[in-house]
Amino acid sequence: MEVLVINCGSSSLKFQLIDSDSEKVLAKGICERIGIKGSVITYQPTGGEKEVSNIDMPTHHEAIDAVIKALTNKETGVINDMSEVKAVGHRVVHGGEYFSKATLVDDDVIKKIEECNYLAPLHNPANIIGIKACMNLMPDTPNVVVFDTAFHQTMPESAYLYAIPRKYYDENKIRRYGFHGTSHSFVSKRVAEIMNKPYDELKTIVCHLGNGASICAVDGGKSVDTSMGLTPLAGVIMGTRSGDIDPSIIEVIAKQDGLSIDQVINMLNKESGVAGLSEVSSDFRDITQAIEDGNAKAKSAFDAYIRQVVRFVGAYIAVMNGVDAITFTAGVGENAAWLRPMVAKYLGYLGVELDEAASEKACGVEGIISTPESKVKLCVIPTNEELAIARETLALVK
């Protein structure tokens, strides 16, 4: 049986068809420019050629239709018909306080996701459109929603309250939610497996360092703190997002440059982070190249990034009163071996010892990268959010 995993953006739709027994990806792809002239679907069966087709996709309905046609195409498709798809798993960004786990979709679930739209105005409405399109085109197939926020619903109040007038929490649910929950959950479980330790006895810190980045303290299998907040703008420095800043900066810049709050927030989301500081790029491959070429701004952006990661790691060690493992994942965490000694250097006082050879080897692959003597394990675990969504989806429809 197959599970179709859908990740819907406002003008894009990523999909993967995963075989539930082997957990292998059978085919994957992306529909882009949905609702915009020149929409295009890229489809690739595993082991086959990538196909790019221009198909008119005025809405997500046509995009899902194109996905179904690609998957069932007589020549390049990977299934005979959609009845082979046992369920559809949808990534949904914000579940507010309603959802602490993956949930089977019904009208009430859609209503609650809609109620969270104000917390993720760019993402949740698109996620709902994708769900509704699947319900229309595959009326007999169950849909499951898997939330980025759900894993963090175990955080204690002391971790999620902001020190602003309480009515904003009581009436508007303004609080820390945290994101990348599917990844933090997947990776922390895998850490317990490779360390051969019970998940509910492990204290671990997961550094999900991609274009977007967040750090999570997982104590006994539960998220107890995380760096992103009400929105994914908070926390560590990211590719183009500022991470935590003094909120007054927004007022100062708005007044100085005559910008609206929306414009400043847009700048903090899209023109900040290592891209804004380095004036080079949001991509760490470009940053390291620029540092090699002697670019001082790239070096200072990089140093600020590392320091911010270490700040959160240090804070979470204190929050959990100890740590058994610190794990790197996502694009930067999985591939950028040069980053790890810089983080490990700050943690020497804890008895953390990086095995540099093991670290160099663990690029894009799983590995324990600390020495056997190290008091805290360092690990690299490639994240796989689609597989995690497929597993959670299947568990609900089995």
Kindly list the residues in this chain that would bind ligand ADP in the complex (CB under 6 A). Answer: 210-212, 239, 282-285, 330-332, 335-336
Rounded least distance, CB 279 to ligand ADP, Å: 16
Rounded least distance, CB 183 to ligand ADP, Å: 9
Rounded least distance, CB 380 to ligand ADP, Å: 12
Rounded least distance, CB 356 to ligand ADP, Å: 16
Clarify whether 21 is annotated catalytic.
no
Three-class secondary structure assignment of the chain: CEEEEEEECCCCEEEEEEECCCCCEEEEEEEECCCCCCCEEEEEECCCCCEEEECCCCCHHHHHHHHHHHHHCCCCCCCCCHHHEEEEEEEECCCCCCCCCCEECCHHHHHHHHHCHHHCCCCHHHHHHHHHHHHHHCCCCCEEEEECCHHHHHCCHHHHCCCCCCHHHHHHCCCCCCCCHHHHHHHHHHHHHHHCCCHHHCEEEEEEECCCEEEEEEECCEEEEECCCCCCCCCCCCCCCCCCCCCHHHHHHHHHHCCCHHHHHHHHHHCCHHHHHHCCCCCHHHHHHHHHCCCHHHHHHHHHHHHHHHHHHHHHHHHHCCCCEEEEEHHHHHHCCCHHHHHHHHCHHHCCCECHHHHHHCCCCCEECECCCCCCEEEECCCCHHHHHHHHHHHHHC
Residue placing its CB nearer to ligand ADP in the complex, 130 or 239: 239
Residue placing its CB nearer to ligand ADP in the complex, 291 or 394: 291
Residue placing its CB nearer to ligand ADP in the complex, 298 or 332: 332
Point out the residue whose Cβ comes nearest to ligand ADP. Answer: 331
Residue placing its CB nearer to ligand ADP in the complex, 5 or 133: 5
Rounded least distance, CB 80 to ligand ADP, Å: 32
Residue placing its CB nearer to ligand ADP in the complex, 181 or 331: 331
Per annotation, catalytic residue among 81, 108, 148, 257 = 148
- Residues with catalytic annotation? 148
